[in-house]
Each structure stands twice: as C-alpha cells, then as structure tokens.
Amino acid sequence: MNKNRLEAFSDGVIAIIITIMVLELKIPHNPTWQSYLDVYPIFISYALSFVLLGLYWSSHHHLFETVSKVNNKILWLNMLTLFCHSLIPFATASMGENSFASIPVAIYAAVLFIANVSYLILVNGLRSLHSSDSSFHKAYKGHKIIYTSMAVNASAAIVSLIGFPKTAFLLIALKAVMWFIPNHRIGSYKTGEDRTSK
C-alpha cells in the first residue's frame, strides 16, 4: 500500500512534468507557415524530453514492480529523482528558446546527467534495502543503462561547451532512439512478458 501511494504520487508528478512542457510551445500570433516553422527548436526539444521522461516513467515503473518494501529513505530518494526530473521542462524550454546555443544545451545535458545520478542513488537505496536473494535483486539489471546514459549526457555537455551544441543534442537523441531498436541487448526496461518471450 505504501508502495502504491508512492507510485501513484510519482506518476502524478511525472504526468504533470511531461505535460506542462507543452505550455512552452509559443503560440504563433502570425498565421504564416514561417511562424510555425520558427517554433521547431522548441518542438524538437519538447519531443526529445517527452521521450526521455517517458523512459524515466517506464524505468521507474519497472523498478518498482519487483520492489517489496519501501521506507522513509526511499520516499526521499524518490522525491530527489522527481525534483531533478522536474528541472527538465526548464532546461528544455531554455534550450529551445535559445535555438540550441552552446550553454543551454550543455545545461540541458547536465540536468539529464544529474537526473541519472539521482536515479542511480534511488536504485542503490532500493538494492541496500532488499536482501541480495530477493526478487528485486534478481530482476534488476539496469545499471548498465544508467551508466551508458550518464556517459552520453556528460559527453554531450562537454561537446556542447567546446562548440558543437547540435552534435551534443543529436548524441542525446541518438541514445534515446537506441532503446527503440528491437533486440538491443541492454534492455532492462522490458516488461516481464518480453523477458519470458526471449
């Protein structure tokens, strides 16, 4: 029950985070094609963040599936991940508004990196709470993904700062798209059904 209310609250916060980003799409006040095209940097940024927050929700969902208990520490580590992810709309909008300038893209990548770190801390909190022969320990294999994600986001921040912000953006986008390629081997986001069918 405890766990369920934690999941429900997280779902609520993630649903709001993912949706309020759409408020940043500036309404064109000039009914021309050009004014709609001008929105594209914000639109692409929104699309990427939607996917990344979707991955966060999905992985949060699978993480808690095999969790058998939560305590106050987990509640707050979860709050920390929600806080870090709640900065994504800000980072997304400032990246889009400034048309992928160097510093905003680096800050976007840094926010994603920090969000990864917070998620890693949550995962480790859950690991130390569950005994090593629990179903949680057996089911969880997501470290590889988090480390990959952290490496990519850190690299993207650097790549952007040395002057290639669009390459940095593409790097992050590519990493996100990778999860949709069938049969990639690092998929801890899979449902039980997927796992058994392989």
Task: Give contact residues for a second copy (rule: CB under 8 A).
Answer: 1-2, 5, 7-9, 11-20, 22-25, 27-33, 36, 47, 50-51, 54, 57-58, 61, 65, 69-72, 75-76, 79, 83, 86-87, 89-90, 93-94, 97-98, 101-104, 107, 180, 187, 189-194
Using an 8 Å Cβ cutoff, are 175 and 152 in contact? yes
Taking the complex as a whole, the smallest distance from the CB of residue 123 to a second copy amounts, in Å, to 19
Tell me how far apart the terminal alpha carbons of the chain are, to the nearest angstrom.
Answer: 32
Pick between residue 36 and residue 147 the one whose CB is nearest to a second copy: 36
Taking the complex as a whole, the smallest distance from the CB of residue 49 to a second copy amounts, in Å, to 11
Q: Which residues, at least 6 apart from 39, have a Cβ–Cβ distance to it below 8 Å?
A: 25, 26, 28
Angle between helices 88-97 and 72-86 (to 10 degrees): 10
Pick between residue 5 and residue 151 the one whose CB is nearest to a second copy: 5
Q: Structure tokens of 146? A: 């988090």
Taking the complex as a whole, the smallest distance from the CB of residue 38 to a second copy amounts, in Å, to 12
Taking the complex as a whole, the smallest distance from the CB of residue 150 to a second copy amounts, in Å, to 22
